[in-house]
């Protein structure tokens, strides 16, 4: 069972994303917290890989007494630091292991293929966002060879860069901005059962006035209640509909709601076919 | 009043729609799950051919469902199914080897060639820094300490004797060449990526970095020239320096392209200009990292093995010529079109 947050994403994070076929997929952006978590997972994994490789190479160094272990370590450290994000994001999944665990994925904002140039750009900018303050702090700690002016300048900028995603609507890092990418939340849903009632039982018919009460918004709220599995909510909603429509309680709330849903849905869909989209109960009923 | 009747229930669009297309959706979902778990290679030829067709028919189902059906669960299901199929069809590059070949034949030289204006500016900054530092240090050797950090100078300062300076140029150490080369590569490549990224800050830090690089170059030349070893030092530097300095200049140029795209987007929208500049400059920076790997091999190994001034200078010049032909001979034809 997915959490409510997943199934009902805040509308603020929905973005239109038009495929080359011209259909808007309405993707959901990854939240700042989710992305920070994904990054921390990646950093932890990188550290683990680094420690494991260092230990292995140390053993090799002890065994062979040759330079090969040191060379491999130096090249490996560079590749790990710069290649981890780039290689994973260039792969078919468009995500590092951390992003995959958090259900995130990198996509190009314009709906086109995610190019290598874009992946390189978004991760090269990480250099000034995250690694810069870390490496400068490290350099300073190790009795600095870093230029003082450059350090101060970098620190000042880093503060802005690090928190940049919080200051814009699309949660873009500098890297996303420069590369033209987005980080989106991927979802896997199964097709929920059809709500139309089966034909083997007698069903209720409703008068025109009873069906004219509500619009599409209420219909979809009713859909959520029926699918939601919350018994109390069903009882309350059934009672509210009966009271408004002036119907007597027949003691079977679930069947009542299913019948009412089907009748209302058929009526509103009939309206759609002739171009009448009644958004909610407040909009006018056209006849 | 509601009454019970025993006729067929109203047919909802969603139900009819599900009945007509659910088999396709299920098949697409099944294929996607398999691809997501493993890779696209697990699919049979039939499935592979069916994938784009299923994607398009599901996409059209989504459009129809949005217009005619009020079943929100159905629309949400189709949305995620289409998004997953889209990622598998459009999110993946066709072949890693073909991409790599394209990078070497077009992407890399083309990106560098289209940065030619920025490259000239950065080359000018380097030369200006070198000339300024040369004149300053020749006029007053105390400037040297302010320009070149103690750690990097390694005893090569105006107080050193001609003999000890000569030793730094021709003494070759046989052990640890590979380690030295890989250390240099990692260090320089990180600085180059850094110069690229800093370009985002309206070019200022990148320009400072490149200018400072020029200052150090000029100050070092001044020290050696003061002892009559100027040409020997230039030859010592040239063997890898033409490649390395050129690489750093291109990294600076890549940063400058981003910074200027932000400040002066021209006819494009600012965001579009930044994205176009960023993607292209990133390809150039990847090339710079490879150049620095070549430079590190030349510096760490070539320079220790080759000790003749003439040979060193010749190798350096040949490398520079090769890069120039690669970028401006081959690359120019694949240069990214400027929007103006």
Asked whether residue B158 falls in the same domain as residue B253, the answer is yes
Chain B: closest CA distance from residue A96 (Å)? 14
pLDDT in tens, A5-45: 344 445 678 888 888 888 888 888 888 889 989 999 999 99
Cβ-based contacts under 8 A for chains A and B? 247
| Segment A263-285 mean pLDDT | 79
Q: What is the pLDDT of residues B29-53, one digit of tens each?
A: 999 888 888 777 788 888 888 888 9
Which residues in chain B (282-311) have CB-CB distances under 8 A to chain A? 282-283, 285-286, 289
Q: Is the pLDDT of residue A275 over 70?
A: yes
Q: What is the mean pLDDT of chain B?
A: 84
The model's confidence at residue A147, banded by pLDDT at 50, 70 and 90, is low
Contact list in B for residue A248 (CB cut-off 8 A) is: 1-2
A95 shares contact with chain B (CB less than 8 Å): no
pLDDT number for residue B323: 93
pLDDT of B1: 46
Last residue of a domain, one of B89, B119, B152: B89
Give yes or no: residues B69 and B152 share one domain.
no
What pLDDT band is residue B228 in, cutting at 50, 70 and 90?
A: confident
Assess contact for B49 and B66: CB atoms under 8 A.
no
Chain B contact for A80, CB < 8 A? Answer: no
| pTM for this model (two decimals) | 0.81
**In chain A, pLDDT over 70 holds for what percent of residues?**
84
Q: What is the pLDDT of residues A214-229, one digit of tens each?
A: 888 888 888 888 888 7
Contacts of B278 in chain A (CB under 8 A): 117-118, 121, 125, 178-180
Which domain covers residue B117, as residue numbers? Answer: 97-333
Give yes or no for residue B140 having a pLDDT over 80. yes
Pairwise CB contact (< 8 Å): A269 & B69: yes
Distance CA B172, CA B129 (A): 30
- Residue B284's pLDDT is what? 92
Domain residue spans of chain A: 4-185, 192-287
Average pLDDT over residues B68-91: 85
Instruction: State mean pLDDT over B256-276.
Output: 87
**Residues A202, A250: contact at Cβ < 8 Å?**
no
Residue B338 has pLDDT above 60, yes or no: no
Q: Which long-range contacts does A90-96 make (Cβ < 8 Å, 24+ apart)?
A: A90/A116, A90/A119, A90/B93, A92/B39, A92/B40, A92/B88, A92/B91, A92/B92, A93/B36, A94/B87, A94/B91, A96/A38, A96/A42
Contacts with A, B 149-188, CB within 8 Å: 149, 151-152, 175-176, 178-179, 181-183, 185-186
Find the angle CA(A198)-CA(A201)-CA(A202) to the nearest 5 degrees.
120
Note whether B73 and B39 are same-domain residues.
yes
A129 DSSP 8-state letter: I
Residues B32 and B139 in one domain: no
pLDDT digits (tens, 9 = 90+) for A87-109: 888 877 788 999 999 989 898 88
B111 occurs within a structural domain: yes
A164 band by pLDDT with thresholds 50, 70 and 90: confident
Assess contact for B26 and A216: CB atoms under 8 A. no
Residue A4 pLDDT? 40
Regarding whether B160 and B59 lie in a shared domain, the answer is no
In a domain, residue B7? The reply is: no
Residue of B nearest to A227 (CA): B73
Count of structural domains within chain B:
2
Residue A118 and residue B279: Cβ atoms within 8 Å? yes
Contact B131/A at CB under 8 A: no
Give the end of a domain, one of B57, B89, B121. Answer: B89
B 67-86 residues inside an 8 A Cβ radius of A: 67-74, 76-77, 79-84, 86
Statement to judge: residues B170 and B253 lie in one domain: yes
Q: What does the pLDDT read at residue B340? A: 40
Q: Where a domain ends, among B89, B115, B139?
A: B89
Domain assignment of residue B64, yes or no? yes
Q: How far is CA B226 from the centre of its chain?
A: 39
Same domain, B79 and B101: no
Please indicate if any CB of chain A lies within 8 Å of the CB of B62. yes
Same domain, B139 and B278: yes
Q: Which of residues 210-229 of A touch B (CB under 8 A)?
A: 210, 216, 219-220, 223-224, 227
Task: Give me the mean pLDDT over the A181-209 stretch.
Answer: 78
CB contact under 8 A, A23 and B93: no
Q: Are residues B280 and B145 both part of a single domain?
A: yes
**B178 and B101 share a domain?**
yes
Find out whether A226 and A195 touch, Cβ atoms under 8 Å.
yes
**Whole-number pLDDT of residue B317:** 92
Establish if B108 belongs to a structural domain.
yes
Q: Name the more confident of B202 and B78.
A: B78
Give residue A67's pLDDT.
77
Specify if B284 maps to a domain.
yes
- Note whether A196 contacts B87, CB cutoff 8 Å: no
- B179 plus B38 within the same structural domain: no
Contacts A247 to B, Cβ<8 Å? 1-2
A126-140, B180-194, B249-263, B316-330: which range is least confident on average? A126-140
Which carries the bigger pLDDT value, residue B10 or residue B270?
B270
d(C-alpha B224, C-alpha B219), whole Å: 9
**Predicted local confidence at residue B324, as pLDDT:** 92
Co-location of B171 and B30 in the same domain: no
Confirm whether B8 is domain-assigned. no
Among B63-72, B104-113, B207-216, B330-339, where is mean pLDDT lowest? Answer: B330-339
CB-nearest partner of B71 from A195, A204, A206: A195
Q: What pLDDT, on the 0 to 100 scale, is given for residue A46?
A: 94
Mutate one of A100, A124, A263, A270 to test the B interface: name it (highest B CB count within 10 A): A124
């Amino acid at each position: 069972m997915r959490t409510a947050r997943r199934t009902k994403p805040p509308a603020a994070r929905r973005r239109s994303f038009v495929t080359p076929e011209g259909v808007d997929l309405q993707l959901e952006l990854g939240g700042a917290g989710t992305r920070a978590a994904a990054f921390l997972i990646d950093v932890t994994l990188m550290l683990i890989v680094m420690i494991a490789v260092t230990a292995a190479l140390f053993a090799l160094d002890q065994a062979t007494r040759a330079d090969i272990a040191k060379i491999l370590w130096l090249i490996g450290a560079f590749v790990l630091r710069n290649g981890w994000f780039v290689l994973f994001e260039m792969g078919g999944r468009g995500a590092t292991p951390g992003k995959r665990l958090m259900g995130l994925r990198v996509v190009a904002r314009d709906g086109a293929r995610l190019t290598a140039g874009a992946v390189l750009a978004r991760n090269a900018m990480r250099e000034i966002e995250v690694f810069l303050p870390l490496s400068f702090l490290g350099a300073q700690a190790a009795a600095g060879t870093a230029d003082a002016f450059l350090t101060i300048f970098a620190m000042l900028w880093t503060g802005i860069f690090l928190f940049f995603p919080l200051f814009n609507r699309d949660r873009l890092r500098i890297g996303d901005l420069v590369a033209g990418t987005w980080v989106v939340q991927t979802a896997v849903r199964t097709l929920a059962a059809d709500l139309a009632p089966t034909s083997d039982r007698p069903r209720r018919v409703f008068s025109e006035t009873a069906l004219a009460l509500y619009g599409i918004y209420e219909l979809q709220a009713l859909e959520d209640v029926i699918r939601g599995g919350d018994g109390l909510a069903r009882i309350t909603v059934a009672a509210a509909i009966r009271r408004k429509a002036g119907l007597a309680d027949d003691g079977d709330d679930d069947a009542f709601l299913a019948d009412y849903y089907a009748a209302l849905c058929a009526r509103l869909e009939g309206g759609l076919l002739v171009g009448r989209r009644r958004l909610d109960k407040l909009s006018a009923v056209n006849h | 009043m509601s009454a019970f009747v025993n006729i067929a229930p109203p047919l909802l669009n969603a139900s009819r729609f599900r009945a007509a297309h659910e088999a396709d959706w299920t098949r697409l979902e099944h294929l996607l799950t398999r691809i997501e778990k493993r890779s696209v290679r697990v699919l049979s030829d039939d499935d592979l051919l069916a994938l784009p067709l299923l994607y398009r028919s599901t996409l059209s189902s989504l459009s129809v469902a949005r217009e005619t059906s009020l079943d929100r669960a159905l629309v949400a299901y189709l949305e995620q199914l289409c998004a997953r199929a889209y990622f598998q069809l459009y999110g993946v590059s066709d072949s890693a080897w073909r991409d790599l070949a394209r990078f070497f034949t077009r992407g890399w030289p083309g990106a560098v060639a289209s940065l030619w204006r920025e490259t000239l500016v950065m080359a000018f900054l380097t030369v200006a820094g070198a000339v300024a530092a040369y004149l300053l240090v020749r006029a007053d050797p105390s400037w040297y300490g302010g320009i070149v950090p103690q750690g990097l100078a390694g005893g090569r300062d105006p107080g050193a004797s001609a003999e000890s300076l000569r030793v730094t140029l021709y003494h070759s150490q046989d052990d640890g060449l590979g380690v030295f080369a890989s250390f240099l590569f990692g260090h320089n490549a990180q600085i180059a990526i850094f110069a690229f990224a800093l370009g985002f800050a309206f070019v200022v830090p990148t320009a400072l970095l490149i200018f400072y690089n020029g200052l150090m170059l000029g100050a070092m030349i001044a020290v050696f020239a003061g002892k009559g070893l100027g040409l020997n030092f230039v030859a010592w530097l040239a063997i890898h320096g033409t490649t390395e300095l050129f690489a750093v200049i291109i990294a600076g140029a890549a940063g400058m392209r981003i910074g200027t795209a932000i400040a002066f987007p021209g006819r494009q929208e600012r965001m579009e200009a930044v994205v176009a500049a960023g993607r292209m400059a990133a390809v150039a920076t990847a090339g710079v990292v490879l150049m620095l790997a070549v430079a590190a091999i030349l510096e760490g190994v070539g320079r220790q093995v080759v000790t003749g001034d003439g040979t060193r200078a010749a190798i350096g010049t040949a490398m520079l010529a090769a890069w120039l032909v690669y970028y401006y001979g081959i690359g120019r034809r694949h240069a990214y079109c400027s929007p103006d």
